[in-house]
Amino acid sequence: MEKYAILLGYFDKQWLLLKKLNIQIISVDLSSYELRYVFALKVQQFYTATEDLMKQIAKGFENHIQDLSAFHKELLIRLNTEVPQIRPQVLSTNSFLFLDKVRAFRHFIRHAYDCELLEKELTTIQNQFKSHFEVLEKDFMQFRLFVEDLSR
Amino acid sequence: MDKQFDTNEAKKFQERNEAFEKDERENQRIATLSIVVESLKKLFLNTDVEVFLVGSITQPYMFYPHSDVDVVVKKFAGDRFDLWTQLETMIRRNVEIIIFENCHFQEHVLKTGYKVL
């Protein structure tokens, strides 16, 4: 089906970007005060790119996504849930918890007018990327196979 | 327009609508405040952490459907973003967790914040 072939194309393009951002995020030296801002920007870009991919997935399989701008967590909750006879769960609970934390961090960076970037807090986030990105990749790739099957 | 339009009547209609929306909003704020306080008490009961609410959730008629709930925590040594996601799950609304010790408006928090714990 053409709709899913298009989604597959978008999926691959977006995944390349996410892999690149992940490498940049885990490589930032957080002991440097200036580089903490680079880290914050990259994490923000990472979540926005992931959210765009999740929105495309939701659009491909569901119709009701208009309220997602109000409560971004809703999209994560939705993708952590199987839609019987329509699509399997996209995100495992581990990936859901990881991305939820990254989403909260993005909110903090976007909305705090005068935020203090503490090395300890950022290191915790960076470590989460180091330990969870592979799980996220596994989840997305598994879902990609499902989309690939539909596109044939 | 074929006939004279009654602007006063239209104005009265808009005012009634506005008053109704304002009351609804305030009822929503009070209900949300109660859920937030209850959730924070569950999370921090029997700990040394002090918790304050600031911003629109504490101000009558100022809390809108898309408003965040601003929470300030003092003497909190845990992971801010874990608390953030946990509280959002409990209240199903966007929150903002502010660490008192790094906060640039400490005086404002102590003077005008709603002390939960």
A72 touches chain B (CB under 8 A): yes
Q: At what angle do helices A33-61 and A119-151 cross, to 10 degrees?
A: 30
Tell me which of B36 and A112 has the higher pLDDT.
B36
Asked if the interface predicted TM-score (ipTM) of this complex is over 0.85, the answer is no
Which residues does chain B have within 8 Å of residue A73's beta carbon, measured at their own beta carbons? 85, 88-89, 94
Alpha helix segments (H runs only) across B1-92: 7-44, 80-91
* Number of domains chain B is built from: 1
- Per-residue model confidence (pLDDT) at position B4: 84
Spatial contact of B44 and B97, defined as CB atoms under 8 Å apart: no
- Per-residue model confidence (pLDDT) at position A72: 85
pTM of the predicted model over 0.90: no
Residue ranges making up the domain that contains B94: 7-115
Whole-angstrom distance, CA of residue A14 vs CA of residue A4: 15
Residue B2 placed within a domain: no
User: Which segment of A40-54, B6-20, B34-48 scores lowest on mean pLDDT?
Assistant: B6-20
Assign residue B22 the CATH number of its domain: 3.30.460.10
CA distance A59 to chain B (A): 23
- Per-residue model confidence (pLDDT) at position B40: 97
Whole-angstrom distance, CA of residue A140 vs CA of residue A117: 30
Whole-angstrom distance, CA of residue A137 vs CA of residue A144: 10
- CA angle B73–B76–B80, rounded 5-degree value: 80
Whether residue A67 has pLDDT greater than 60: no
Whole-angstrom distance, CA of residue A107 vs CA of residue A109: 5
User: Which segment of A22-26, A65-69, B90-94 scores lowest on mean pLDDT?
Assistant: A65-69
Of A100, A111, A118, the CB nearest to B96: A111
Whether residue A62 has pLDDT greater than 60: yes
Whole-angstrom distance, CA of residue A45 vs CA of residue A129: 14
Residue B1 placed within a domain: no
Residue B21 placed within a domain: yes
Q: Provide the pLDDT confidence category of residue B66 given band limits of 50, 70 and 90.
A: confident
Residue B19 placed within a domain: yes
CB contacts < 8 Å between A and B, how many? 42
Whether residue A50 has pLDDT greater than 90: yes
Which residue is closest to B67 within chain A, CA to CA? A70
Whole-angstrom distance, CA of residue B109 vs CA of residue B117: 13
- Residue-wise over A95-127: b if at least 16 C-beta within 10 A, else e? bbbbbbbbbbbbbbbeeeeeeebeeebbebbbe
CA distance B111 to chain A (A): 20
From chain B, which residues contact A within 8 Å (Cβ)?
65-66, 68, 79-82, 84-85, 88-89, 92-94, 96-97, 102, 104
Region B16-38: what's the mean pLDDT?
94
- Per-residue model confidence (pLDDT) at position B63: 94
CB contact under 8 A, B84 and A121: no
CB contact under 8 A, A124 and B79: yes
DSSP element (H, E) containing B96: strand B95-99
Which residues does chain B have within 8 Å of residue A71's beta carbon, measured at their own beta carbons? 92-94
Query: Could you report the per-residue pLDDT of A69-122, keeping only the tens digit for each?
Result: 567 888 999 999 999 989 999 999 999 999 999 999 999 998 876 677 899 999
